Amino acid sequence: MSILLFVMLGVFIFMMFRRNKKTQQQQAELQSKFGPGVEVMTSFGLFGRIVDMDEAENKVILELSPGNLATVHRQAVTKIVEPAVAPEPAAPAVPDDASSLTATETGSTATAAETPATPAETPDETLKRLNGEGKKDS
């Protein structure tokens, strides 16, 4: 029983070291990508562009907006911000004109699912329906 306990403890320690090593590798890879002109985010949420780096003192000078500079510790920069790719605009869901919404009497391209179950009403009937004409008073 005690052997099993030591084996589990050994596996636990191995997993801790493995996780720390993986985190250090990711951090080193991130640090190697730093350079002037790279858009970054700090651990406290500031976004900016790297202007200069001081390797001796582990400082990074960020330009937050034109003319506004901030000096932060190199380890405070935690993420490289990739430029957002704008999605291509899709075809409009609603056509520009209403002609494709109504079925024509000849040469109709509407399918059975698109045609209404009730016959189309005339413009006069639509106005009467919308204005409430023809309804009995309550």
pLDDT of residue 85: 64
Q: Look up the pTM and report it.
A: 0.46
Average of per-residue pLDDT across 3-24? 92
> How many Å apart are CA 55 and CA 45, to the nearest integer?
22
Q: For residue 82, what are the CA distances in angstroms to 37, 39, 57, 67, 111?
A: 12, 7, 27, 22, 45
Quick one: pLDDT band at residue 35, thresholds 50, 70, 90?
confident
Average of per-residue pLDDT across 81-96? 67
DSSP 28-90: HHHHHT--TT-EEEETTS-EEEEEEEETTTTEEEEEEETTEEEEEEGGGEEEEPPPPPPPPPP
Quick one: pLDDT band at residue 90, thresholds 50, 70, 90?
low
Report the SS3 class of residue 102: coil
